[in-house]
Structures are given as structure tokens and as C-alpha cells.
A and B are shown apart, each in its own frame.
Chain A
Amino acid sequence: ELKVEQNPLFLSMQEGKNYTIYCNYSTTSDRLYWYRQDPGKSLESLFVLLSNGAVKQEGRLMASLDTKARLSTLHITAAVHDLSATYFCAVDVVYQLIWGAGTKLIIKP
């Protein structure tokens, strides 16, 4: 069975702190996506990671992919309140995206 597991599922943190969200998956894939979702809204693409060792950064967010370990990480640096949202990872398996359950991130001032 294809599984994508995110942890933690819920994270409450203070502004200015660093933290990492982990995404483990159970099947071979060299494409992984990170999305952000605000309450009641659609999904916004953050990163598309296309190969082993891929690292992408945008502002305070950095994502990486290790296809051998079947692990991706989303690192948040010096968190700010505006980054509060739910973050999803999804693994591409032959035209189908398999999604993690999401990490709800709350950043307190």
C-alpha cells in the first residue's frame, strides 16, 4: 500500500523559532510536491522537487528531497505569523499524487 506520512500533524511554535516538517513515503518516486493551504482556501504550490538531493528555498521555507531514504523535509527558518497554515506533501506515482495528511502549523507572536 502506498503511504505518505507527515509528522508532526500539528505544530504550535513561537515567532522567530526554527522547525522542520518531515514527509516519509513508502514507494519509489523521484517527484515530490509541497503545498500550502489556508483555512477555507485552495492549495498553493510551494515546491516541486524533481530529483534526489534537490533543495529549493523560497523566503523562510526550504525543502529537500532524499529519494534513497524516501524522505522530504520542509524547514522553516525564523518563523513569522504569516506562515501559519496547513502544509501538505504529495508524492507523484504514475499520474497519481498520493498525499500526506497535512501539518497544521500555528505560529504565535
Chain B
Amino acid sequence: NAGVTQTPKFQVLKTGQSMTLQCAQDMNHEYMSWYRQDPGMGLRLIHYSVGAGITDQGEVPNGYNVSRSTTEDFPLRLLSAAPSQTSVYFCASRGGGRAYEQYFGPGTRLTVT
């Protein structure tokens, strides 16, 4: 079991560029989510999905898109990068029912110049 994997680990973008952060899990979890973490702050939820084909917005969705075509993958797309999106991005997954524990990927450190 690889758990939750994220690529890339580091990325530098110029303002206005677009890119996709990849996230995959091999635990057959229904629930997946994307967070951003800024210095001195807790994590903030960007988007989440409760199953293939179902996504919803979290606390800070503007500037990001997601889709969930398979149970395993949950990519996060930055449409037109801005310096305010410089952050560390974490993907997480958890199972359904009473399987409440959430597992986090290693993170992607993104810098937008």
C-alpha cells in the first residue's frame, strides 16, 4: 500500500500559468480532499469529493478546479496561478462509514512568482 501519493513535490510557476497537482490513493477510499497550508495557519479546505463523479467546494475554492473520474485519483487544477496561491498543498483521503481517520499525502510545495 502506497497510501496517498502526490506529485510533484515542488513546483515553481509564473503568474498566469496553469498546472495540475496530482493525487492518488490505493486504499479504495470514498472521501478525498485538498487543503492548502500557509505559514502560521491551520489547513484550509479547497475542494472535496465523496465519491467518483461527486465534488464540492470547501472554504477557499476560488482559482482551483477539481474532478473525480475514478475512486483513486483526485487532481487539483490551478487555472491561472497567482502569487496568493503560493502555499503547501496536501491531499487527504478517508474511508466511508465509521472509518474516520484521514490519511495525508506528503504535500506539494508551490511557489508562484
Residues of A within 8 A of B (CB): 4, 31, 33, 41-43, 45, 48, 50, 88, 90, 92, 95-102
Contact = CB atoms under 8 A, between A and B. Distances in A.
A88 B100 contact: no
Contacts, number: 50
Given A95-B50, A96-B48, A97-B43, 17 more contacts: A33-B102, A41-B107, A45-B101, A45-B103, A48-B100, A50-B100, A88-B42, A90-B43, A95-B31, A95-B48, A96-B58, A97-B33, A97-B102, A98-B59, A99-B44, A101-B40, A101-B41
B42 A43 contact: no
B112 to A, nearest CB: 19
Interface residues of B, number: 23
A31 B107 contact: no
Contacts of A100: 42
A102 B45 CA distance: 15
A78 to B, nearest CB: 27
B100 A101 contact: no
Contact of B100 (A31, A42, A96, A98): A31
A4 B104 CA distance: 20
A43 B59 contact: no
